[in-house]
A = this chain, B = another copy of it.
């Protein structure tokens, strides 16, 4: 029987890694999987209000493209932007959890996070989900 659940730790705040995380999460949820995303360290920046727009590529370019050009290319090819992906994930039932420790260290109150992040939790919260999942990724 195919695995029914997936967890993704997003530790990176880079645009390309965050995009990969949300594309995997929405793809899994669209297939009927239970998906939990856990945002920690730099990954927390992505789910701060306005944070998705500030994320940059991890490298100077990708096939010669900078962050703005890449966003243009994605738009042209119909790839949803990160704000849309976050909304899609929420509608598909992806559970998004902010890392409690990171929020404390970086002084980020829950009110600063996008409303699609409904939960706050720690390593125990993540592990409880991961132990039930088969597809567990650290990005």
Contact = CB atoms under 8 A, between A and B. Distances in A.
Interface of A: 2-3, 6, 9, 11, 13, 16-17, 20, 23-24, 27-28, 31, 33, 40-42, 58-59, 62-63, 70, 73-74, 77, 79, 101, 104-108, 122-124, 126-128, 130-139
A126 B135 CA distance: 11
A59 B42 contact: yes
A8 B124 CA distance: 16
B107 A63 contact: yes
A132 B20 contact: no
A107 B63 CA distance: 9
A84 to B, nearest CB: 15
Contacts of A101: 23, 77, 79
A105 B134 contact: no
B123 A105 contact: no
A62 B42 contact: yes
A135 B131 contact: yes
A131 to B, nearest CB: 4
Give me the 9 closest cross-chain CB pairs, A-B, nearest first: A27-B123, A63-B106, A2-B131, A137-B138, A3-B131, A130-B135, A135-B136, A16-B41, A138-B139
Contacts of A70: 105
A74 B138 CA distance: 22
